[in-house]
Amino acid sequence: MYFDTFYEIERFSLAGQSAMPKGRYLLAEDSPLNDGEGINGVYGELGFDFLGLVTVAGKYEHYSKTDAEKAAEEADLAAAQAAGTEYTPIGKGTFTLLLLVPALETLQFEAYYRRTGITGADDIFKFDDRSMAVAQAKYQMYPFVYLVAQASRRWVFQEGTIDSAAGYEATDDWGVGVEFAYQF
């Protein structure tokens, strides 16, 4: 089990935007697992370590749409065409990319990118409301003491107001601080 900034969003994103958390939905009567269809997809992970200077790792997972999701998507497409509006299907892919530069003794750099709801290969590296990223630089001032600068985009739940509905909003943040770290 893992938790990240997309966890809250993704746990409600299975099969027709059910209001039930993903784990309970899979056990419910209308779950795709109960009709024998199951949840299928692909998962791939690849990483390279270049002589201990730079490490690059990537991961891609994509769930196949269930018959119910395909039917709902076709209905939404037909409704959009009838209304003369554009329709973008909800993707089921998630891509993660990690870059580590541990080569320098006193300065370390890390970057992390993740995108969810991917609809195709041309959608992997767009930076919008389905993306998050973190970049961090650490400078070793003393043994076990680091000066850290970090910039990130993460998702924060915004309560509903009279003017807007509740939901998740992308928030860009940055900070500088001191970190005490010891590696075993």
What pLDDT, in 10s, does the model give residues 87-139?
666 677 888 999 988 777 778 899 999 888 888 788 888 877 778 888 999 99
* Phi-psi region at 16: left, alpha or beta (left = phi > 0; alpha = psi -120 to 50): left
**pTM reported for the whole predicted model:** 0.66
- Start-end of H helices in the chain: 7-10, 22-27, 67-83
